[in-house]
Amino acid sequence: MGQHAEYGKNLVANVAEGQFTDDWGTTLVQYQGGTSAHIDGVVGDNCAIEIESRVDKQIRGALVDLVLHHCSKRLIILIPVHMNDPQKTKEQCEDILNKLKRPTDEVRVVLLRGTGDDSKPEEDKALIRAALLDLGAIKPQ
C-alpha cells in the first residue's frame, strides 16, 4: 500500500473509531468470469470506502468497483496527488456516481487537503467525519 492510501486509511480508521475494516472478504467485489477486485474498506456494515490519489482514468476504474460493491452507502476519498485538477476530478466523480448509483444508494465524494507527503490530519478528519455522518455510517459524538 502506498503512503497516500495508508494516510487515507489511517484517517478513516481514526474517524470511524473501530468500525472501519479492510478485511479481504468484506471488501470483495465479484465480477463475471471468476475475477474479482477489492475496495479499500468498509465502515460498519453498509458504507463502502475507496481511497484514490491516482490520475483521473484510474480513479474512474475505482468508481466501478465502488458502485458494484454490495454496500448501499459509498464514499470515495480523493487525495490530491496525481490529478491535474483535483476539484474537477471531484466533480467528475460526483457526476459518475450519481449516474451509476441505484435509487436506494447514497454516495459522497471527499477531496482531502493533505496527502501522505504533506499531511493535514485535523482538516482531513473533519471532512471525512462530515461525509460519514451525512451518510449515516457513523453516529455523532
Q: How do residues 42-74 score in pLDDT, each as one tens digit?
A: 999 999 999 999 999 999 999 999 999 999 999
3-state DSSP assignment of residue 51? strand
**Domains of the chain and CATH, by start:** 3-135 (3.40.1350)
**What pLDDT digit, counting tens, does each position of 76-94 carry?**
999 999 999 999 999 999 9
Closest CA to 58 of 136, 122, 2, 7: 2
- Average pLDDT over the chain, rounded to whole? 96
Note every long-range contact of 14-21, with CB atoms under 8 Å and residues 24 or more positions apart, other chains counting: 14/121, 14/125, 15/125, 15/128, 15/129, 15/132, 15/138, 16/43, 16/44, 16/132, 16/137, 16/138, 17/138, 19/43, 19/44, 19/137, 19/138, 20/49
Q: How confident is the model at residue 1 (pLDDT cuts 50, 70, 90)?
A: low
R_g of the chain computed on alpha carbons: 14
pTM of the predicted model as reported, rounded to 2 decimal places = 0.96
Place of cell 470483495: 28
CB 11 within 8 A of CB 125: yes
